[in-house]
Amino acid sequence: MSNLNNQRLKLKLHQLRLVPYLAIGSLIFYFNSNLDLNYIVKGYLVLMESQLCIIVIYFLTEKVTNKPHK
């Protein structure tokens, strides 16, 4: 019975890893939809902001979940 509870907990923690990416993606969409720019410039901004945010989230999660090596 305890294995079943552990599997549910791991699944939920695994799903929570997507929350920062979804939050940043929605913020990027919100900010870029309010801009009055050319579609090419908007597309370029979305790509650049997405790459930057993915790198920042990667390093933040690396720092938070960094476990000491034995």
pLDDT of residue 54: 87
Record the pTM. 0.59
Would you call 35 helix, strand, or coil by DSSP?
Answer: coil
pLDDT of residue 70: 60
Answer whether 21's CB lies under 8 Å from 57's CB.
yes
The string of pLDDT tens digits covering residues 26-69 is 888 888 888 888 888 888 888 888 888 888 888 888 887 776 66
Beta carbons within 10 angstroms of residue 49's beta carbon = 17
Domain residue limits, the chain = 17-70
Answer whether 53's CB lies under 8 Å from 24's CB.
yes
